[in-house]
């Protein structure tokens, strides 16, 4: 059953993210520097709100890493700003962590075109979310993260409901307390940043909070999956000159080897950073490095231990 205009207005009026700030009613009359200071002060409070939700975030990440270690995918779904943030986070994973095609996916209500042009009504359909997930052949090993500032967006809620019915791990990220999205998800993360500088413009503080949490979900999950060595990106994909230079620097930081030895190791491993480090620190050749990494499921520290023991 569709929601009437009156019902929807009542729902929005009850949301913290939609609240009006009377103290900022005259902001358009202020000096630009003053507005910038107010906005900056508002943004400065977001990390503290995220910090208060770290136990829930960590629990969701540990559960996500367990599913992904079994071969599952990380799938973000949202509408508008929330959807764009999910697509952005997903698109950064291949060059940063060498994730495979489709390993981290961002879906936005209305399809790829909605990333730059709003698709009216797409966010209002739970069935559209279910269709998008069916197209991915969702499994119980997958992780579905519904993202919605309001926590009531039907597309995000429908995604989590469908995913949970399939048996996938579900995470709901919202910016209102007691949201429908949190209620539908196995792991609810509610980052309540309060009313926006511009009433209802949830691309502001709510968007910032969502970006911070999504950074944590993807980055820490990848750390748990062995995509880093310490705080070094050892699984990056060197697809341009900048990244090739970064690859050399990472190998140097990890090993302390000479530039000549680094070049030789990277050449032997086809430019792959992780096996290059293993050849230098473990004293093994490139084929052995590849085998040890495969046996350790890509965890460099475990592969180094095996190399030293062998």
298 phi-psi bin (left φ>0, alpha ψ -120 to 50, beta other):
left
**pLDDT score recorded for residue 1:** 42
> Homologous superfamily of 9-224 in CATH?
Glucose-6-phosphate isomerase like protein; domain 1 (3.40.50.10490)
Catalytic residue selected from 66, 92, 186, 263: 92
Q: What CATH number belongs to 241-309? A: 1.10.8.1080
Catalytic residue selected from 123, 161, 190, 196: 123
Confidence at 13, pLDDT banded by 50, 70, 90 = low
Residue 231 and residue 48: Cα distance in Å, rounded? 23
In the chain, the percentage of residues whose pLDDT exceeds 70 is 94
CB atoms within 10 A of CB 151: 29
Confidence at 236, pLDDT banded by 50, 70, 90 = confident
**pLDDT score recorded for residue 290:** 96
> Would you say 48 and 62 are in contact if contact means Cβ atoms under 8 Å apart?
no
pLDDT tens per residue across span 120-148: 667 788 999 999 999 999 999 999 999 99
Active site residue 123: yes
Every domain range in the chain assigned CATH 3.40.50.10490: 9-224
Every domain range in the chain assigned CATH 1.10.8.1080: 241-309
All residues at 6 or more sequence positions from 130 whose CB lies less than 8 Å from its CB, including other chains: 158, 159, 161, 162
Confidence at 50, pLDDT banded by 50, 70, 90 = very high
Q: How far is CA 241 from CA 19, 97, 237, 293, in A?
A: 48, 17, 11, 26
Active site residue 92: yes
How, if at all, do strands 104-108 and 187-190 pair?
unpaired
Say if pTM beats, i.e. exceeds, 0.85: yes
């Amino acid at each position: 059953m569709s929601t009437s205009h009156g019902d929807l207005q009542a729902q929005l009026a009850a949301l913290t993210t939609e609240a009006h700030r009377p103290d900022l009613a005259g902001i358009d009359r202020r000096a630009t520097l003053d507005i910038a200071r107010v906005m900056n002060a508002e943004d400065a409070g977001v990390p503290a709100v995220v910090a208060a939700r770290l136990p829930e975030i960590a629990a969701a990440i540990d559960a996500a890493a367990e599913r992904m270690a079994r071969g599952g995918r990380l799938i973000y779904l949202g509408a508008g700003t929330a959807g764009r943030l999910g697509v952005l986070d997903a698109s950064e994973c291949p060059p940063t962590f060498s994730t495979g095609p489709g390993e981290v996916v961002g879906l936005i209500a209305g399809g790829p075109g909605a990333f730059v042009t709003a698709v009216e009504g797409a966010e209002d359909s739970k069935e559209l979310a279910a269709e998008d997930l069916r197209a991915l052949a969702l499994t119980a090993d997958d992780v579905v993260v519904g993202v919605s500032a309001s926590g009531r967006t039907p597309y995000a809620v429908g995604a989590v409901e469908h995913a949970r019915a399939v048996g996938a791990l579900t995470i709901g990220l919202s910016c209102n307390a007691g949201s429908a999205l949190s209620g539908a998800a196995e792991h609810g993360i509610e980052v309540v940043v309060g009313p926006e500088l511009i009433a209802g413009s949830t691309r502001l503080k709510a968007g910032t909070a969502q970006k911070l949490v999504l950074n944590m979900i993807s980055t820490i999950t990848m750390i748990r999956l062995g995509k880093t060595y310490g705080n070094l990106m050892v699984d990056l994909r060197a697809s341009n000159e900048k990244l090739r230079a970064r690859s050399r620097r990472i190998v140097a930081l990890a090993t302390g080897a000479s530039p000549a030895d680094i070049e030789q190791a990277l050449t032997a491993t086809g430019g792959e950073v992780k096996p290059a480090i293993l050849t230098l620190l473990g004293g093994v050749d490139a084929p052995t490095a590849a085998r040890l990494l495969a046996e350790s499921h890509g965890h460099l520290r475990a592969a180094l231990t095996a190399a030293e023991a062998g």
